[in-house]
Structure formats: C-alpha cells, structure tokens
Amino acid sequence: MDYSGFLKAADAGQPPAVALLHGPDAFLLSDAAARVGRGLFGDAPDLSLSREVLEAREAGAAGIVEAALTLPWTGARRLIVARGIDELNARAADEIAAYCASPNPSSVLLLLAGQSLAAAHWLNKAVPRQMIVAALPPTGGQIAGWLRDRARAEGIELSADAALLLIELGGDDLARLRGDVVKAALAGGPDNRRVGAAEVRAVVGETRARHVFELTRAIVARDVGAALGLLGALLAGGEDPGPLLGMLAREARAAWLAAEGLRRGWPEAEIARGLGRPPGPAAELVARARSLSPEAALRLVHRCWEADRRLKLGGMPRAELSLLVADLCAG
C-alpha cells in the first residue's frame, strides 16, 4: 500500500490491522498516526482507553504484541502506536512476524520506523509486504501538491499560488507548512476555509514576504549589493537564520537541478515544472543556470552545507550568511 492510499483508508476509519510506516520525516509518521486515530475515534476528547503509544526500545517486541492483543475497554477498536520499531534488533523478528500472521481483529497496530528501510532490513522480512508503507517526503515540485492535498484533508482549499508562496517563504519543513496553512485560514476569519496569497501574506507579513522574494531574485540576478542589503534587513527584523539558510540552500539546489536539466537536454517547460515555480521565476532561474555547469552549481549546494556546519559549530550567523550570499551571487 502506498502512503496516500493508507491515508485514505485511515481517514475512512478502515486502516489495516497492522501497518509498518517507515521514512525520515517525523511529521509524516505522526500525522499518519493522528489520522488513523481520528478515523477510528473521531474527535473524542479522551482516548486514554482506546489508544496506547509505546516506545519500541522500552516495550520490546513482547510488550508491543501484548498491547496489541489486549481487548478494547470501550468501543470496538484499540489503536497501538509503536514508535522507533527500527531501534529493535533482528531478534524481535519472530514475535513481530507471528503477530502479523494472526493479528487481533479488534486492534490496529502501527509500527513506526524513523528511517527509510533498506530492502535487507529485518522488518521487511518480518512484516508482509502489503502491510509496509513508505512515508517518503515530497520533494521539489511535489511539495506544493502535497500541501494542497494536506490542506484539503482539513477542509481547507489552498490555491496553487498560495501553496507556492508558502513554500517560498517558509521552506520545505512539512510540519511548519501545515501549521502555516491553518494560521492562514484563520487569518481570513474563524469560518474561512479558503486560503489564497492574501491570507498567506497576512500570516508571514508583507514586508518579510517582499524581502525574501527580493532576496531570491537578487541572488538569481547576481546582484550582491542588493542581496546583502536584503539579508541585513531580514536579520535586523528578527528573522531566524535557520530558515533563511534553508531558503538559500533551496535556491542553490534549484539552480543545480536546472543546470542538470539543461545538460540532459530537457525542455525549459519541463524544468520549470520540476522546480515547482511560477513561469516567471522559473524562467529567471533557468536563464541563470545556463551560465553554470552542473558541477559549479553542485559546489554552491556544498557551500550551503558548509555554512550550515559552521553555524552549528558556533559561527556568527550574520557573517556566515553574508559570506554565503556573496558566494551564491558570484556563482
């Protein structure tokens, strides 16, 4: 079962009796578990007797199976969520496999693994293939589509322009994006269920939105003076260096993807779709990529990683980001 199919079944209150969800994004895993809970129990305020969350390392395979075999105290079903199942070693395989072969029909057991599992991992042998769900985070142009689908699941109609703007301003952190959609909807009033660019700007702030957009345009245009001025204005306004670095890294990665697409002879329209950007900004990025070899563009991505490492080691944010912006503009 794929991730989207699993979510549809979860929302309908019909999840499989056992599912192993694996992937590196913690939000996708926790969101899936939350949606299973809502599908099974609605918005019940107290789920203490209906849902049990276990840390696999503490409970062990025996504790997980015992919880799954426990009959519900109230209602018809119980939900057991075992987090960090990949932290158990292969000795747990027999107990997990035995339960999967004959699960308790009144329980739903979710096994959550916080990494993408290699084909040879013991869990892929212990859990039947039809019970394994890869929760892979969307990338590039997929993020906007994922965000609109996620908003729709909460009854919010998010426009394509608003989704792109949220990503441009907020980065690719899925939990943050989901939260910004909800906040943007509330900005339109307590009963508002439509989110456009106006609601997004009301959440992130018109000045910040303009400065972030202009900073990316200045980098693409290689206008180092304007880019450094905009960076200074954002930092002076209290902008968190972390998301700013994330935005700069996305720009570098987008330039590399565009340069690689040109090297492979892809049409500009196809490159623009892959970047998930409106036609105008996409065309500007492709034009810049024409002056970059894929190798040079990849060096800029590595330069962002270096800046991230230096910041984590205690580097001064303004100095490190200023040097990075200058390097990105120089190409």
pLDDT band at 112 (very low <50, low <70, confident <90, very high): very high
CATH classification at residue 47: 3.40.50.300
CATH classification at residue 228: 1.20.272.10
| One domain, residues 159 and 105 | no
Q: At which of 92, 115, 134 does a domain end?
A: 134
pLDDT band at 46 (very low <50, low <70, confident <90, very high): low
Is 192 in contact with 212 (CB distance < 8 Å)?
no
Domains in the chain, number: 3
| One domain, residues 77 and 174 | no
| One domain, residues 199 and 295 | no
Q: Please give the pLDDT value at position 172.
A: 77
Stretch 105-120: mean pLDDT: 96
For residue 128, give the nearest of 1, 238, 287, 40 by alpha carbon.
1
Print the domain residue range for 38. 3-134
Q: Please give the pLDDT value at position 170.
A: 67
Lowest-pLDDT choice from 243-247, 254-258, 271-275, 292-296? 271-275
What whole-number distance in Å separates Cα of residue 248 and Cα of residue 321? 9
* Of 272 and 265, more confident: 265
Tens-place pLDDT, residues 9-19: 999 999 999 99
Say what the pTM is.
0.65
Q: Amino acid identity, residue 293?
A: S
Whether the pLDDT of residue 273 is over 90: the answer is no
Stretch 266-286: mean pLDDT: 78
Tens-place pLDDT, residues 278-327: 677 778 888 888 888 888 889 999 999 999 998 888 889 999 999 999 99
For residue 30, give the nearest of 119, 112, 120 by alpha carbon.
112
CATH classification at residue 166: 1.10.8.60
The most confident of the ranges 16-20, 70-74, 136-140, 284-288 is: 16-20
Whether the pLDDT of residue 44 is over 80: the answer is no
Is 184 in contact with 162 (CB distance < 8 Å)?
yes
Q: At which of 204, 220, 245 does a domain end?
A: 204
Q: Please give the pLDDT value at position 215.
A: 87
pLDDT band at 237 (very low <50, low <70, confident <90, very high): low
